[in-house]
Structure formats: structure tokens, C-alpha cells
Amino acid sequence: MLQEIILAGFGGQGVMSMGQLLAYAGLEENKYVSWIPSYGPEMRGGTANCSVTISDKEVSSPIITEPNTLIVLNRPSLEKFEGDIQPGGWLLLNSSLIDLEPRRQDINVFKIPSADIASEKLNNSRVANMIILGAYIQLIGAVSLESVVNALKKVLPEYRHDLLPLNRRALELGIELAQKAL
Amino acid sequence: MGKVLMKGNEALGEAAVRAGCRYFFGYPITPQNEIPHYLAKRLPEVGGVFVQAESEIAAINMVYGAAGSGARVMTSSSGPGISLKQEGISYIAGAELPCVIVNMQRGGPGLGGIQPAQSDYFQAVKGGGHGDYRLLVLAPATIQEMVDLMGKAFDLADEYRNPVMILGDGILGQMMEAVELPPEDLSFKIPSKPWATTGAKGRTPNIINSLYLDPLELEKHNLHLRNKYEQMRKESMGETYKTEDAELVLVGYGSAARVAKAVVDQGRARGLKVGLFRPITLFPFPKDDLQKACCQARHVITVEMSLGQLIEDVRYNLEFKVPVHYCGRVGGMIPTTRDILAKIEALTNLQGEGEEV
């Protein structure tokens, strides 16, 4: 198993923490993992991205040029990375903010209005990233829901553990929506 | 203690604290900023001192002072900042003081870029500043190894009274990986340093200096240093991977070696007899281990994120007995397994042997 994932979006949408959660969840399952951010001269409101590898083998280069999964939360990220996805790979996109149709025909695409769903169903737009991460868990299955939740417990400081149920609900919602779509 | 996910720069900072480092002087530069960021918070917790100096030159001279007083002290920087520190590093080497210097390499020359590179190889292993001197240079390839080498770096610095450089790069600094930290031993005492300037009450003063105006005296000092660098040879370390029957050996260090290791597995899956030699110490260079790893190789390829720096030491240490080829990317680009496999296949399909590709 080798999952090479690029996660991208606006700064503040939670792509970096989503990536760290995935890596931590992989570690929970005793897999080799790496996480590396883009660290260019980023500007406020600009795009941020990180690369996550989850593997049965040692990770060679953590920098990913051809992801087998791309998770994008905004339009510039889709435009930037769509062409790099490996044929047969997955594209998960936040259709609340992306009004563009993916051009690739040789990949699997899952569109989910995660920002709208987060606001409407959970009354908190900030867990949009967790909804799309839930969809990832369901569609690709590289890590389990329980591992992600365990990772959350480690990543969130204790005084923020009151947010765990909300995040879990968001993950489950993503899983449900992906199940329905399949 | 179990494995935790940590960013390379932060893990390095924590490993330094656990190795007894209590003083850090530095100046910010990407991609190593998380080291000072981490230590600014961490060192005061253990009674240490963190100073963000007004410049790299000031920082390295603070290291000089702290090392002279016998402390475990560290600085870190990247490319341009390491260049600025060279004068101080030369003084520290001349005055024979222990310290650890971290270089998280980025692309150069000049301001270059901020993405990972290995283009400071010559600067690290050939001295770097003025005068006849060497640094002990350690080149970790994983965050775990970076952490494991931290304690060793301070021990070697004390043992040889010589600056030790940890040569990383932007990848190792920025990435997160699983790591197990050494236990924190608060009762740890650093080795006694009778030469240190700790206040001369009741004894003759210790003098820390690198000025020898009498050429005969300076020559004596130079020869003493050379002798010390010869002694360091026994510290050389390298890793071999599937070299026993390898007809083609890849040689690379740090991040480049990670990619090369994946190439060995991919090449083996295609039936190619490929192996990897990874120097862990770049000075002293693990000559004997390299020769042993390459004894049946028909070709050697260096995989580096520089324009042919490592290759010079590989050719020299193999005594020009095996053709050595170059495969690399520069400027912040990372060589891919595909690039390296293409190079290997071009070489193995070659008709005439020893021909330059």
C-alpha cells in the first residue's frame, strides 16, 4: 500500500492539519508516514498545500510530484494540481468553493459541497475539512475512522477536546455522503 | 516512550536539549526556522539560554564564547547564513572548541532559493572558512537518525574539541516523520573541560585563542590539528544496502539517499543488481566501507542534490578504479526514482564499458 496524497486549499481552511491528522492516523496503524508542507513565500489568502505519504515501506522522498490522491478545497488548487494526479487516482474536491469541472477523464472524481454541508448540518463551517477527510476514509480506506479520531485526540490540545464529538460527527457525515455516492 | 510525529527541525531541537545543550544562538533563515522557534520556548524550561542575535556573525561569536566557557552550545542556519558564520567557525576550529552547527541546506549560490538542496557539500566537508581545518560532518537521512546523531554530535565535539556540523536539508527540516526521542536525563553531566575559561581563581588562567604570530608555533599547531583530523578517521560511518552482489552501486547521503534506496528496490524488482552506499559521516569520509561496497561494481552513480560535489569525493575515495557517474537535480528540485532508474538503464544497456554517459 502506497498512498501519496496532496492536500491543498486557502490558508486557514485546515489543509495542513488535515494532512497531519492523516499522517498521525497512519502512524496509529503502524505504517510508515511522512508529512511535508509547501514552504514557499506564501501570502495571506494564497494557497497552501502539504504532501502526505502513508506506506507499508519506508518513505523515500516525502515530496510528492504525482499524487494518487488529490484533495482540494479551493479553485486555484484544482487548477494547479489536477494535471499531476496519477491515472486511476482520486480527486476529492470541495464543490462549495470550486465551480470548475475537472478536465481529467482518467481519474475518479468525488465532488462534495463540504463547506455548505458543514454550515447547514453542523452549524460550523470550520469542520468542512473533516467532512472531506471522512469522504477520503470511505473512498480510499488507507486509514480507519478510529485511527483518525485517535489521532485527533493527540493533535488537539486537551482543553480543546470538547471539539472531538463535532469533528467525529463531521468525519462520519463525510463517510455517509461518500457511501451514498458510491 | 512511543513514537511521535515530529517536524525535523523541532525533533532536532528537542534532541539537542536531551543531549545536554543549554545554549543556542542564532538568526532566522528558511528552512531551519523551527529550530530557533522551538528552542526559544524549550531552553528556558531547562535553565538554558536562547538568544536571537542581531546577525549570524554575532550568533557564531556567541557560540565561540559559550563553547570557550565549556558549555554545550549550538547554532543553526542555512546556506547564506552558514556562509556568514564561516569566519567564526574557523576561529572555533582554530581555538579547538566543541560546538554543534546545523545547516539545513537550501539552493544556492547567493540568496539562491529556499527549497531543499545539498549544494553546501564542499563548504561543509572541506573546511568552509579560512585556514587548514576540518569539521566533523554528520549527514542524517531520516528524522530518527537526525535525533540519534544529535547526542553523538555533542559527544564527538567534546571528545575532539572540534566543531561538528549536522548537514541536513530543507526536506529533513520541514518534514514530519515518526520519531522516538531518547529519554530525558536531567541528571546528565557534560564531560569535564579543564581547559575551559570558568574563572581562574586558584589555578593558572586558561587561554582560548587562535592567534599564533610565530610561524613555527603556528606550524606546530597546524600539525597538531592535522593529527587530530587523522584520529577522527575511526569515527567514519556509512550504511550499505543490498551491495553484496551489486554490479551498480548508488552513492548518496541525506534526502537524496532516501530516493536512491527506493531505486534499489525498484531496480531489484526489474532484475537489476543495484545497491546503495550511504555515507553517514561526510568528513571523515567512510573510504573503506565505500570501497568494500563497490568492490564488484562495474558502475557507480552518485545521487546528489548538487552539481557534482559528492562525486569528487566518491571518485577520490574509490581511487578512480570504478567509473563514477552523476545523477542529480539542483536548485531545490529533488531527483525522482524515475530519473535515477533511467540513468541506471542507460548505463546497463551501454555497449562499451567505462564510457562516459
The pLDDT score that the predictor gives to residue B92 is 98
- For residue B353, tell me if it sits in a domain: no
Cβ atoms of B69 and B196 closer than 8 Å: yes
What number is the average pLDDT over the span B308-328? 97
Chains A & B: contacts with CB separation below 8 Å: 57
pTM of the model: 0.95
The pLDDT score that the predictor gives to residue B106 is 98
Q: How many Cβ atoms from other residues are within 10 Å of residue B184's Cβ?
A: 11
More confident residue, B227 or A43: B227
Tally of structural domains, chain B:
2
Regarding whether B285 and B182 lie in a shared domain, the answer is no
What number is the average pLDDT over the span B294-299? 96
Tally of structural domains, chain A:
1
Least-confidence region, from A26-30, A147-151, B201-205, B346-350: B346-350
- For residue B357, tell me if it sits in a domain: no
What number is the average pLDDT over the span A117-139? 96
Q: What's the grid cell of residue A182?
A: 458510491
CATH code at position B266: 3.40.50.920
Per-residue model confidence as pLDDT tens digits over B115-134: 999 999 999 999 999 999 99
pLDDT above 80 for B310: yes
Length of chain A: 182
CATH code at position B69: 3.40.50.970
- For residue B291, tell me if it sits in a domain: yes
- For residue B212, tell me if it sits in a domain: yes
Q: Do A39 and B31 touch (CB under 8 A)?
A: yes
Regarding whether B290 and B261 lie in a shared domain, the answer is yes
Per-residue model confidence as pLDDT tens digits over A44-80: 777 899 999 999 999 999 999 999 999 999 999 999 9
What number is the average pLDDT over the span B189-208? 95
CATH code at position A162: 3.40.920.10
User: Distance between CA B75 and CA B61 in Å, rounded?
Assistant: 10
Of B214, B234, B254, the residue that ends a domain is: B234
Per-residue model confidence as pLDDT tens digits over B140-173: 999 999 999 999 999 999 999 999 999 999 999 9
The pLDDT score that the predictor gives to residue B356 is 52
Peptide bond into B284 cis (omega under 30): yes
Regarding whether B139 and B42 lie in a shared domain, the answer is yes
Q: Do A27 and B255 touch (CB under 8 A)?
A: no
Point out which residues pair with B177 in neighbouring strands: A34, B6
Per-residue model confidence as pLDDT tens digits over B174-184: 999 999 999 99
Rounded to the nearest integer, the mean pLDDT of chain A is 95
Q: Do B258 and A59 touch (CB under 8 A)?
A: yes
- Chain A nearest C-alpha distance from B7 (Å): 8
The pLDDT score that the predictor gives to residue A155 is 85
Per-residue model confidence as pLDDT tens digits over B62-96: 999 999 999 999 999 999 999 999 999 999 999 99
- Chain A nearest C-alpha distance from B154 (Å): 27
Q: How confident is the model at residue B351 (pLDDT cuts 50, 70, 90)?
A: very low
What number is the average pLDDT over the span A81-100? 97
- For residue B294, tell me if it sits in a domain: yes
The pLDDT score that the predictor gives to residue B188 is 87
Rounded to the nearest integer, the mean pLDDT of chain B is 96
Nearest CA in chain B to A59: B258
Q: Do A35 and B5 touch (CB under 8 A)?
A: yes
pLDDT above 80 for B354: no
Cβ atoms of B181 and B42 closer than 8 Å: no
- For residue B225, tell me if it sits in a domain: yes
B interface with A, Cβ–Cβ below 8 Å: 3, 5, 30-31, 114-116, 170-171, 174-178, 255, 258-259, 261-262, 265, 334, 336-337
pLDDT above 80 for A123: yes
Residue numbers of the domain that contains A85:
2-181
Q: Looking at this predicted complex, what is its ipTM?
A: 0.93
Among candidates B306, B248, B247, B249, which has minimal Cα distance to B282? B306
Who among B5, B175, B334 is closest to A24 (CB)?
A: B5
Residue numbers of the domain that contains B86:
4-234
Regarding whether B242 and B224 lie in a shared domain, the answer is no
Q: Do B176 and A20 touch (CB under 8 A)?
A: yes
> Which of B142, B177, B276 best probes binding to A when mutated, by most A CB atoms within 10 angstroms?
B177
- For residue B329, tell me if it sits in a domain: yes
Which residues from B are below 8 Å from A23, CB to CB? 5, 176
Kindly list the distances between the CA atom of residue A132 and the CA atoms of A31, A106, B50, B178, in Å, as whole numbers in the listed order: 22, 21, 41, 25
- For residue B160, tell me if it sits in a domain: yes
Inform me whether the C-beta atom of residue A61 falls under 8 Å from chain B C-beta atoms.
Answer: yes
Kindly list the distances between the CA atom of residue B182 and the CA atoms of A53, B20, B120, B137, B144, in Å, as whole numbers in the listed order: 25, 12, 29, 21, 10
Least-confidence region, from B167-176, B208-217, B345-354: B345-354
Among candidates A124, A122, A130, which has minimal Cα distance to A73? A130
Point out which residues pair with A70 in neighbouring strands: A6, A91
What number is the average pLDDT over the span B290-318? 98
The pLDDT score that the predictor gives to residue A45 is 74
What residues contact B284, with CB distance under 8 A and at least 6 apart?
A: B136, B229, B232, B233, B235, B236
Q: How confident is the model at residue B225 (pLDDT cuts 50, 70, 90)?
A: very high
Per-residue model confidence as pLDDT tens digits over A142-160: 999 999 999 999 888 999 9
Of B234, B252, B281, the residue that ends a domain is: B234
User: Distance between CA A107 and CA B219 in Å, rounded?
Assistant: 69
Q: Do A34 and B259 touch (CB under 8 A)?
A: no
- E strands present in B83-233: 99-105, 136-138, 163-169, 176-179
Inform me whether the C-beta atom of residue A41 falls under 8 Å from chain B C-beta atoms.
Answer: yes
Of B177, B209, B234, the residue that ends a domain is: B234
Which residues from B are below 8 Å from A41, CB to CB? 114
Regarding whether B285 and B136 lie in a shared domain, the answer is no
